[in-house]
């Protein structure tokens, strides 16, 4: 698993995941909020499986390493 996500994108994914996860407790109170775990996991690891499959990377500095 090689990092393929830029640090800023990682932060955005973590925040977005927390917002989605909060839907369990506020708003519609739906279990669909558990989907927020996915962007949190991707943000914490820095590795996005769809990016890997498509050969994409938003982290140019990470590719050089």
Query: Residue 65 pLDDT > 70, yes or no?
Result: no
pLDDT band at 27 (very low <50, low <70, confident <90, very high): confident
Instruction: Write down the pLDDT at residue 4.
Output: 92
d(CA 56, CA 17): 21
Q: Mean per-residue pLDDT for 45-64?
A: 87
Predicted TM-score (pTM) of this structure: 0.86
């Amino acid at each position: 698993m090689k990092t393929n996500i830029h640090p800023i994108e990682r932060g955005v994914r973590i925040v977005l995941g927390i917002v989605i996860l909060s839907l369990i407790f506020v708003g519609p109170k739906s279990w669909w909020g558990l989907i927020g775990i996915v962007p949190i996991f991707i943000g914490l690891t820095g590795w996005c499986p769809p990016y890997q499959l498509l050969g994409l990377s938003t982290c140019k500095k990470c590719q050089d390493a």
